[in-house]
Structure 1
């Protein structure tokens, strides 16, 4: 099997289509998370974890693709490894750190629990390790666990890609998938709480591994990639596997004490694998409209802010009586009592508020800072 990458111009021809639809995929993923978190008391299925898994598989694809192409470009150079790492980490830092650390700073300034008490866990991207070690969630910053998982993956994976021969990378990624499932099985058999195996980085590697395999196929096996993912029937296969897992979850007396907790992420990862792969080759029809319409593309573009801020928007406006928005909402409820228990109205309200905050963040902070990445092109 040849490991010679296709010409960069051929890659460029594909970029516009799949990047447009991948923004739509990000929108779908973050919507699932927001739906699950904002309607947690009424939702009976793990919709949010599916959204997080989609993000993990998507990151696995994008990061692996970037690293392989960067390696192929810089490894022949004398200072190739240094340049390869510098460009990757600088670009990741520009995209991820500014609003993350700004959020932590504001949480500390306004003394929002548990920001001050768990400050070092948050600033070092180790909140997931805290949750697993202490077997205790962190309240309003619970959702930072997935950001910690991604950051921990970014720390070690560039070294693996650079130093392992390209032909051996698929074997390693398959090892990620198998090892991750076996590790979750170990935690299950030893009686650890379900969320210990849920929040750790090594137990999430099946999602990143499947995304990485997709990237390898995209670069080195393009014919196989196209023939595999252009078939929309495989998306239905992935959906059937995911549906089986959700049915298992629903029928289990305690889903977190069943083997489904071991295989749930794998089922979601397989679904995301086919969902994203098809988006890269390009959906048509209704899915094309859903993923490429301006609203989906925009919300996908600001999905990082939507994910980062949504818990704070919900908690602050929902339980802070002195906040103007809280008082405004309760004046509406007094005038229209039926709206207070109307799930659609409340969900739409919190979604609009979250989009508003994320939009301000995008235009005032994220987009200007992201423009700096042009100075560190691969």
Structure 2
């Protein structure tokens, strides 16, 4: 069977930028763990926004492909979708979990001061394992920190989204109404949960943290962008133009420089900025090549590995440099980023790609963000 080609320009470049935002934030965070001079408080919002950008991008890509499949075939093959997600997400996810629980805590070069993996009881260890296995790592992070696997909280969020989303797209006809309703409902829920009179409720902190981690606004705003893009709606023509793109980039740059916050609706504010930029990058003819160059394309292709391995590599690099009494930031940044790229590249070739090749039998479309590469529609 010949599969239709779907090509989205620039999006591997977007993945690359999102991954670098997270890495920079976590470099400074890990420097703080080692009591090194750091600027974590000045850049910590970069990591949060980098993950939000990943979510918006995932919501856009997944929703577009599901809508397109439903249009072409009349329905979505749910089992095919789930198998594609399993092959893309599970191998690296569970590899990182196994390393974090059973291997890295036993190696001194991965020691983090005052941050150890200890379990009070066997039942606590069992609970951690169950939450990891069930992709509830976004719930686990509020209960127990597992060094080197904290970043998996976002994978939990995505897997929960992937479980529900094709079922929704398959059944619902008025998607725009549903997407807008979900965005409004989610923001209202977060607003209500922020009230102080709820502080006395048992587990309210965990409830608030989990609700925030679900990030339904970012994912659904990405989905809404996919809906408009697929329909070639007049909204797209208003959004995807040079003025809108330049304005969005300037607002984003200023917001990043000054850590601009929108009370109660910060996540949605940035998600709308991100989807505006993404829609311009895939629709505006003047911008179709702006991020289409080989380094960005390659880093975007291996961005899942960059995201999953960077914490491990950063700690290793810090411990190695400290053994030589070397605390300079520039060598740490260079060594950490280059090493993370190397590890992620090797992982892509030898761990991830064998599973990605198996996706073909469950694929509906030949998707690509570069005509010469396989698209990895996940973070």
Q: TM-score, normalised by structure 1?
A: 0.78
SS of residue paired to 2:193: helix
Counterpart of 2:182 (choices 165, 176, 179) is 176
Does residue 244 of structure 2 align to residue 238 of structure 1? no
Structure 1 residues 201 and 70: alpha-carbon distance in aligned structure 2, compared to 1, 3 A threshold: farther
For the residues of structure 2 that align with 1:194 and 1:293, how far apart are their CA atoms? Answer: 44
Map of 2:109 onto structure 1: none
Counterpart of 2:102 (choices 98, 109, 112) is 109
Map of 2:46 onto structure 1: 47
For the residues of structure 2 that align with 1:203 and 1:330, how far apart are their CA atoms? Answer: 37
Cα shift readout 1:321-360 (whole Å, capped 9, x = no counterpart): xxxxx2xx357x45xxxxx343222111101111111011
For the residues of structure 2 that align with 1:164 and 1:58, how far apart are their CA atoms? Answer: 22
For the residues of structure 1 that align with 2:349 and 2:257, how far apart are their CA atoms? Answer: 41
For the residues of structure 1 that align with 2:246 and 2:27, how far apart are their CA atoms? Answer: 28
Structure 1 residues 177 and 72: alpha-carbon distance in aligned structure 2, compared to 1, 3 A threshold: same
Map of 1:63 onto structure 2: 62
SS of residue paired to 1:93: helix
For the residues of structure 2 that align with 1:220 and 1:207, how far apart are their CA atoms? Answer: 20
State the 1:248 CA deviation: 7.6
Structure 1 residues 74 and 162: alpha-carbon distance in aligned structure 2, compared to 1, 3 A threshold: same
Cα shift readout 1:82-115 (whole Å, capped 9, x = no counterpart): xx10110011111111111122223333163649
How many residues get paired? 331
Counterpart of 1:372 (choices 358, 361, 369) is 358
5+ residue gaps, structure 2, are: 30-37, 106-115, 120-124, 365-379
For the residues of structure 2 that align with 1:175 and 1:245, how far apart are their CA atoms? Answer: 27
Cα shift readout 1:197-219 (whole Å, capped 9, x = no counterpart): 45547751111111111111121
Structure ranking higher in helix proportion: 1
Higher relative contact order (CA 8 A, sep 6+): 2
Structure 1 residues 241 and 182: alpha-carbon distance in aligned structure 2, compared to 1, 3 A threshold: farther
For the residues of structure 1 that align with 2:101 and 2:214, how far apart are their CA atoms? Answer: 30
Q: Please tell me whether the aligned partners of residues 282 and 288 of structure 1 are also in contact (alpha carbons under 8 angstroms).
A: no
For the residues of structure 2 that align with 1:244 and 1:346, how far apart are their CA atoms? Answer: 27
Structure 1 residues 220 and 284: alpha-carbon distance in aligned structure 2, compared to 1, 3 A threshold: closer
SS of residue paired to 1:110: helix
Counterpart of 2:330 (choices 333, 338, 344) is 344
Map of 2:300 onto structure 1: 300
Alignment of 1:91-130 (within 5 A): 91-110=84-103, 112=105, 114=117, 117=125, 118-130=128-140
Alignment of 1:211-230 (within 5 A): 211-222=222-233, 224-225=235-236, 227-230=237-240
Q: Please tell me whether the aligned partners of residues 154 and 213 of structure 2 are also in contact (alpha carbons under 8 angstroms).
A: no
CA RMSD of aligned residues (A): 3.0
Q: Please tell me whether the aligned partners of residues 245 and 267 of structure 1 are also in contact (alpha carbons under 8 angstroms).
A: no
